[in-house]
Amino acid sequence: MKTRLFVMMFLEFFIWGAWLPLIFGYLPSLGFTPGQQSWILNAFPIASIIGMFFSNQFADRHFAAERFLAFSHLVGGVAILGLAFTTSFWPFMILMSIHCLLYVPTISITNSIAFANMKDAQEEFGIVRMGGTIGWIFAAWPFTFILVDWQKVEKANPQGFVAWLGEVLGSGLTGEALQSATKWTYVVAGVASIVLAAYSMTLPHTPPKKSTSSEGGQSLAWVEALSLLKHPFVMILWIVAFIDSFVHNCYFNWTGTFLTSDAVKIPGNWVMPVMSIGQIAEILTMFILGMTLKKLGWRATMIIGVLGHALRFAVYAFMPQKELIIVVQIVHGICYAFFFATVYIFVDEYFPKDVRTSAQGLFNVMILGVGALAANSLCPYLMQEVYTKDGVTDYRGLFLVPMGAAIVASLAMALFFHPPKKEAGASGPVVTGH
């Protein structure tokens, strides 16, 4: 069962990892204005917010999870496949919106399917979720060979496999050629989504969970999920999730450009592999997540995850040497596992069974929605208008913004996040929405 769930997670995050890292440089190459770029980039976070109130509600109470997953990835896969052949704004915007509206809820759905078929979430979820990490990595590394200037390789005429491989790895596409070839990321993502649609129908049947009078009788699962915010420790976690998401998305908005800048000088075809180092580190972190939670507890584990962002941006700001920048990517995996993955496990343990999918959607509103929306709206302005003058970007000042935000979030967790302890042998939720 863990292997089947592992493959599900692999395909789920392979799709996202295939197109996200390079879209920030691809959209300007299509001639889209900064405003149009923001609309396209914000399709994902807007879909996260909409999904909380509609898609997750339907998934929670009306559809078998594996069937919802299959439908979403079939239609969403066709939509993102179409992006490879679209260069006009409105068709691009519509197709991206369709994909995001259908893809975002599946992040919660895959978690729900996994939790419904695991015996011990704290012990097993880290391993199962690791499939998503490996999927993201697998989506990145093939492009080291796809985004290559093959004419340059042929002209060099290297002799022997080692010499040929070295020439290929060192001949990444640049400029317009690199941007044009980026369309293949949408082809890869679309094919993977269609494959997952078919695979979903082989997953264990996970029926919808109907509300009962004993669970409060709420006709809308998200209403009950929102009511859980009356508990102070849930509210503070929700707020910190917003800040951490903002910081997390600052990383995606700026890192690709930073890596290829004169300050770091990493070749274009190596941007995705370098950024995937964080996911490689996440694999190891996921292995120890269950043990870490039992030894350190929820609060300490999450604080470490948030502070990881501060460390990474501190290195970006004060020690921008190529080798250090590459090494510090390791922290990204720790940030994800120790905060975001831990939040999902926390929700599964503390929230009523009837609304767990919607409760996860509640946090996805911040993690994938509002936080990302704020970053995608603010980051281009900060980089291009505030911290760039006469064509020169003040990366130190720029990176101090998310570094400071991460420190504030970690202090908030330390001071105000105090979840009640579960009694020994208790199996039900600690809090209720009614």
d(CA 339, CA 246): 13
d(CA 362, CA 48): 9
Which residue has tokens 């800048």? 261
- Tell me, what's the pLDDT at 143? 73
CATH code of 2-147+182-207+220-416, in short, is: 1.20.1250.20
CB 231 within 8 A of CB 373: no
- Tell me, what's the pLDDT at 216? 44
- Tell me, what's the pLDDT at 275? 87
- Tell me, what's the pLDDT at 213? 42
Which residue has tokens 């929102």? 226
Which residue has tokens 């950024």? 275
- Tell me, what's the pLDDT at 74? 96
- Tell me, what's the pLDDT at 210? 63
Main-chain dihedrals φ then ψ at residue 392, nearest 5 degrees: -110, 125
- Tell me, what's the pLDDT at 397? 94
pLDDT along the chain (434 residues), means of 10: 89 92 81 85 86 60 80 94 93 95 86 80 75 85 75 81 79 70 89 94 77 47 73 90 94 87 81 84 82 90 95 94 92 89 85 70 81 89 85 91 96 91 54 52
Residue spans of the domains in the chain: they are 2-147+182-207+220-416
- Tell me, what's the pLDDT at 391? 79
What's the pTM value of the predicted model, to 2 decimals?
A: 0.76
- Tell me, what's the pLDDT at 220? 59
- Tell me, what's the pLDDT at 430? 57
d(CA 410, CA 299): 10
d(CA 258, CA 387): 13
